[in-house]
Structure 1
Amino acid sequence: MPLQSMTGFARREGTSGRTRWAWELRSVNGKGLDVKLRLPAGTEHLEAEIRKTIGACFSRGNLQVNLSAAATEAGVEPVVNQRALDAVMSLRERLSGLIDPAPLRLDTLLAIRGIVDFREPEEQEGERAARDADLLAGLQLALADMVAMREAEGAALARVLLDQIAAIETLARQIEADPSRSLQAIGTRLAGQVALLMDGAPALDRDRLYGEVALIAAKADIREEIDRLRTHVAAARDLLKKGGPVGRKLDFLSQEFNRESNTICSKSNAAAVTAAGIELKVVIDQFREQVQNLE
């Protein structure tokens, strides 16, 4: 399943009968799936189906989904108020003996308020069902466009993340291979420090001092941190290869990367290891920032 970023945009337009509609979708980063829906009057009954359709496409992101719909033509029809017409004709009969009963013209009737009203024809059930089907089909097309955009950005992000993972692996190897980590270098450095202490304070218990030094040396070992970095590197690559909504898992791994780099820097007793550890932290921060964009 392809990776998706959480950034995307899509717009689809169309017509259904006398209605012209347009879907506009925008998506940005979010911890979960949050859909803000704006529907025109008369389409509110579609909300549940719309949310279900969106949920089948995405698992994370803040989505703004707007639907606009308007009639493409006036399409009015005359409606005769029969009661008002009957009342006018009855009044004409009652007054025929008092005034000249001239023939009643059509334009005269139309000029009388309330006799004829012009309004948009009511939407029939079949027309409404066809319009709803067209709107939902248009939404599917817009969602497909957004999925394609998010997948394209996801593929680009995957390449960036793989480069950053490779940089993390390279720095871990560099730290592991640093000469300051060899047993001979560690022994020489600690022996020199013990000699300085003994010269400065001859009364110190030599055996106890060497015991403390051995404990310090054990605590300063970063073998475990390097091994965990390698494990996290392999896990991150597997997740990117697997694809799908793996953003949360990669974010967790970025925190683990950061924890190991912090420990390496705190245990370091060599300038080269410290420098590599700091560079490692920079790459990990960049990795975590990019991961925030993945679904």
Structure 2
Amino acid sequence: MTIGGMTGFGRAEGALGAWSWAVEARSVNGRNLEVRFRGPPGFEGLERAAREGAQSRFLRGQVTIGVQAKRSDSAGAVKVNIEQLEHYLKAGGPYVATGMVAVPTLDGLLSLKGVIETADAIDDPDAQAAVEAAMATSIGLALDGLAAGRAEEGRSLEGVLNALVARIGDLTGNASALAEGQPVIIKARFEKRLTELAGEAASEERILQEAAAMAVKADVQEELDRLRGHVEAARGLLTTDGGVGRKLDFLTQEFMREANTLCSKSASGALTAVGLDLKATIEQFREQVQNVE
């Protein structure tokens, strides 16, 4: 099992009768699934096929699907739509009569939409439906290619993320070892300060009481325990098949919350340095998680 990425590309080509086409499907990161489609006019059913195909394969990401189709110019008998041509002439007649526009030329009239048609496009709707179905199949193949690309990215991400989680675990262990010396550091620091202020009036009993209270406030055991728990949760998610990007993103926030608290409670430069290293590693983890589906 492996996690999935959100970046990839797929392409498929096809041909049927007078038609040939190419389908390209690509995706980038996105918080939710967003499908965009561009296709040839006259094939309205393709957009639905593209959206349903993407929704059945992906959970997140901005997916763009484009179909470029071409029809052979020699296919089918050419027919002039006289009714459409006369409609254009009638509509433009008053403008020609007043001199507002020039008299239309034959090539100009023939280039108007709907004037030139091919017999098979007019008389064979079944052929049109067959071409559309074949194009829809190519869309599915392009989306399969895109899914394969996203899976490959996921395999690459898995190694990177596992290494970062291991690093977070190691730093948590380092922080735990350093945290054991917190009470001694706090006691020595408070004793020195109190002696400077009170001199011989500073009793050992008071120093111990105040230092103990300060050590309780500076205790980071809960933060370390939660960090360890988050490390195990991350490892579990990275072995889960399917969309875990949102869960990993939430877990990253929890990682950073504990690291910030650890730094704020630190009583030594060494523990602070480990905390800062921990925060930097968590930030690297967060950046990579943005690519996970």
Residue correspondence of structure 1 range 57-136 to structure 2 within 5 A: 57-77=57-77, 119-123=117-121, 124-136=124-136
The yes-or-no answer on 1:11 pairing with 2:39 is no
Q: Aligned letter for 2:270?
A: A
Larger Rg: 1
Structure 2 counterpart SS, 1:56 = helix
How big is the shift at 1:159? 0.4
C-alpha RMSD of the superposition: 2.5
Aligned residue number for residue 110 of structure 1: none
The yes-or-no answer on 1:250 pairing with 2:248 is yes
Equivalences, count: 259
**How far apart, in 2, do the equivalents of 1:118 and 1:30 lie?**
44
Deviates further, 73-82 or 261-270? 73-82
TM-score (norm 1): 0.80
Aligned residue number for residue 181 of structure 1: 180
Deviates further, 205-214 or 219-228? 205-214
Q: 1:76 to 1:269 in 2, by over 3 A?
A: same
Structure 2 counterpart SS, 1:122 = helix
Residue correspondence of structure 1 range 1-295 to structure 2 within 5 A: 2-77=2-77, 119-123=117-121, 124-178=124-178, 181-182=180-181, 186-187=183-184, 189-191=186-188, 193-194=190-191, 196-201=193-198, 210-295=208-293
Q: Aligned letter for 1:181?
A: E
How big is the shift at 1:189? 4.5
Q: 1:161 to 1:51 in 2, by over 3 A?
A: same
Unaligned 5+ runs, structure 1: 83-116
Unaligned 5+ runs, structure 2: 83-114
Structure 1 counterpart SS, 2:247 = helix
Percent of aligned pairs with the same residue?
Answer: 42
**How far apart, in 2, do the equivalents of 1:78 and 1:130 lie?**
21
**How far apart, in 1, do the equivalents of 2:78 and 2:287 lie?**
63
Q: Aligned letter for 2:276?
A: I
How big is the shift at 1:13? 1.0
Q: Aligned letter for 1:174?
A: N
Q: 1:279 to 1:7 in 2, by over 3 A?
A: same
**How far apart, in 1, do the equivalents of 2:231 and 2:78 lie?**
74
Q: 1:282 to 1:81 in 2, by over 3 A?
A: closer
Structure 2 counterpart SS, 1:6 = coil
Q: 1:20 to 1:284 in 2, by over 3 A?
A: same
Aligned residue number for residue 89 of structure 2: none
